[in-house]
Amino acid sequence: MTMRTRTLGTTGPQVSALGLGCMGMSGMYGETDRAESIATIHAALEAGVTLLDTGDFYGMGHNELLISEALRTAPAALRENALLSVKFGALRDPDGAWAGFDGRPGAVKNFAAYSLQRLGVDHIDVYRPSRLDPQVPIEETVGAIAELVEKGWVRHIGLSEVGADTIRRAAATAPIADLQIEYALISRGPEREILPTLRELGISVTAYGVLSRGLISGHLTADRQLAANDFRAHSPRFQGENLQHNLTLVESLRKIAEQKGVTVAQIAIAWVLSQGDDIVPLVGARTRERLGEALGALDVTLDAADLAAIEDAVPADAAAGQRYAAPLMAMLDSER
């Protein structure tokens, strides 16, 4: 298979058409298998996936160390092709609880220094604040990253989960390659104002949650028991009647997938891919099996009739429940 590529914005790097989101390899969705995680990263690189996405707060540094090990043990040619997208700024306590965000310029540079050390690299390809710090103007946060770019520690600047006004202010401060935001069949809020703004400014999207954390993967069942340390155990879309309703949407999508001879996950990922060449889906595969399925989406062709059928089966705003619990929704500048 020859991996297709897309470019992040007008100033960013060329990356694989699918990226690998590595968060789930560090405990956010329950127990993980370190050896399988590393094997999955290797398999992704071998398949031509170049974009690896992480955050310094995923497992409190665990994810960056995991990626470092995977890169260190990968063949040199594959290691050199890897591009690292890193989020920073989220604060956590030893219990794993969220304690806010820090976008102060001094903190930005401190976070970067630690990430470079944990990742074992001499630069970060795309560096982005994980959320807007309401106490710090975005110009100051982005300005600090721009200083890291000038010094060669960072190659490109990204954003995450911010709204149109913040995007404009950031882009007026320094070139922005992409915005990372949740975008999926059942998470289409960015279409209203954020996507038009990005396209006006020449900024791409790296879309996370394209399978809505497994909800629309076709593999989740109503009777599945989620561990207490699984993020989804506290997510509104996975609770009670919300879950039942959302799985009904999945079954409608399954009928279309079966007609196409593909899986539910593949058609859901293919739908995101079809929304524009300026959108790069991040797939959160934790195993080689799930990675292989996700890569199969690259071979799925959706025509106008297919897209109409998919959006009729899963209309915009059809999902029951918010994508985060209320306290976390309140932290999203993109939802204001």
Q: Got the DSSP string for 19-72? A: EEE-GGGGTTBS---HHHHHHHHHHHHHTT--EEEEETTTTTTHHHHHHHHHHH
Amino acid in the structure at residue 92: R
Do residues 127 and 88 make contact, with C-beta atoms less than 8 angstroms apart? Answer: yes
As given in the structure block, the two tokens for residue 291 are 């990675």
Cα-flanking dihedrals φ and ψ of residue 40, to 5°? -70, -40
Query: Long-range contacts: 3-7, Cβ < 8 Å, 24+?
Result: 3/47, 3/48, 3/49, 3/50, 3/298, 4/298, 6/204, 6/277, 6/278, 6/279, 6/280, 7/204
Active site residue 127: no
**HSE value, Cβ hemisphere, 13 Å, CA-based, for 158:** 31
Query: What is the spatial distance between Cα 227 and Cα 230, in angstroms, rounded to a whole number?
Result: 5
What is the identity of the amino acid at 168? R
The single residue of 29, 58, 127, 324 carrying the catalytic annotation is 58
Q: Could you give the residue numbers annotated as active site?
A: 58
